[in-house]
Amino acid sequence: MLKKISMTVLTLVFMGVFLLIPSSSLARSMPKGKLESTREMRAVWVASVYNLDWPSKKGLPRDEQKQEFIQLLDDIKAMNMNAVIMQIKPTADAFYPSKFGPWSEYLTGTQGKDPGYDPLEFMIEEAHKRGLEFHAWFNPYRITMNHTDLNRLSADHPARAHPEWTIAYGNQLYFNPGIPDAQDFIVDGIEEVVKNYDIDAVHMDDYFYPNKIAGVPFPDQETYETYGQKFTHIEDWRRDNVNELVKQINNTIKKEKPYVKFGISPFGVWRNIKEDPTGSNTTAGMTNYDDLYADTREWIQQHHIDYITPQIYWSIGFQPAAYDVLTKWWSNEVKGQPVHLYIGQATYKINQNSDPAWSDPEEYFRQIELNRQSQLVQGSMHFSLKDINRNPLNVKKRLIEETYSKPALIPEMPWLHQKAPKKPIIQSVKKTEDGAVLQIQNDPRSSASYYAVYRLSHKGTYEFVQTVRKETGSFTQTKDILANQKKSYTYQVTALNRLHHESKPSTKTVK
């Protein structure tokens, strides 16, 4: 949060103009008796590749892996975040038993070795217990990180069964994006997870065609000549390959489970204005459209994704690619479209980058504050959890105590049609020595996935206190630990489905 000041307004330079904005960006003028809650995506990436976030190293015993992950989720929950983005297929492998890839080496140290449990099932269950959405993060094409030798892959690796699907570039192997059978295989691998696991979203990041190596063309000319006859330029064919993959994935997800979201987190620049007058006023050395063949505009306009999270990993005012300029550009891209815009925040750069702005304790919080000024930016995704946990420039502490000091509900996606549940029945509210216990009736016919608890404040509005996952059985129980034994309280409880559509409230007072 920005430094506390006594002024009632704060002047910021935002997107090239001066704006007067409220000192509390989330403050609203709420009529008395209304529910007062914030809708904001607050997610964090948990990377498994190279054991960046979890597990902390290869070959940890099963129970240690589980305890580590539980601690990470508790860290996320303590920051009032509401979603975790877990990398479950980093290199054409799997963190679950799969027909489409071997067990990941980042679990056991040996690709193809069974870890003795189903990590994905465990992770989803633990995330949901804490009221966190689980976004299953896939890397679609990447097979290896630092070699091109098929013989070093596990014997059951699909790339060894289909070497004709693979292509080497630099020191890595990929599934060739231009081969239709390879594309179908990737889609089928994602469908397997959507069918078999209770995920909330499928997530992909910025790895499409690989980053260009100077002077080394991507070696797909022969594939282009075989499959790209209708395209005059190889670049248009490559973009079409990625567009078709994205379209297929979305159609497959929605056919299987219409409520599962599909989101992509691309590189932060679509095109520079020099190459396209509708591009951003940037001079980035790499772009989605021209270098990665990822036409993000197409996905948004054709409604092939439910959210987009550009990785705007630069500081405010950074001349080649400014955070403020790009936030405005991406906001205009989603305007009027059924696509949520979240921003990818570069936690990893704080106090670790040559740009002096990242040594300023306020830079990160200014960025989040800028997001909150836009009606079109619906929240943030932070890369990555380990970088938050190292608490550079006190960022974790300030997220907990200031920026994310109050919980937030995840924004609704009205285009994913679900009716709000019927309002729940509060069975009872009882005071205890350490709070107030609310018991909520579970209607087996209700679409509710969880409940939101509100408490009447001295302002006459109902302040959002917490969420609680709907339990199995007849009742769900939760505790307001801040309730004082000597005071009376009035509570309202709403029911929400898994797409966060909220019911009307039920009310109960305890004296």
pLDDT score of 459: 86
Instruction: Check whether 245 has a pLDDT greater than 50.
Output: yes
Contact 201, 263 (CB under 8 A): yes
pLDDT of 349-401, one tens digit each?
999 999 999 999 999 999 999 999 999 999 999 999 999 999 999 999 999 99
What average pLDDT score do residues 456-479 get? 94
pLDDT single digits (tens) 438-461:
999 999 999 999 999 999 998 899
- The first and second tokens of residue 347, run together, are 């936690």
Helices 62-78 and 119-129 sit at what angle, rounded to 10 degrees? 30
Q: What is the pLDDT of residues 276-324, one digit of tens each?
A: 999 999 999 999 999 999 999 999 999 999 999 999 999 999 999 999 9
- Is the pLDDT at 21 greater than 60? The verdict is no
What is the structure's pLDDT at 31? Answer: 53
d(CA 22, CA 265): 30
In the chain, what are the helix, strand and coil shares in percent, each to the nearest 5? Answer: 30, 25, 45
What average pLDDT does range 92-108 have in this prediction? 98
Number of other CB atoms surrounding residue 325 within 10 Å: 22
pLDDT for residue 3 is more than 90: no
- pLDDT at position 131 is 96
The predicted pLDDT at position 36 comes to 84
Provide the pairing of β-strand 9-14 with 17-22: antiparallel
Tell me the three state secondary structure of residue 293. coil
Q: Domains of the chain by range and CATH?
A: 9-403 (3.20.20.80), 426-510 (2.60.40.10)
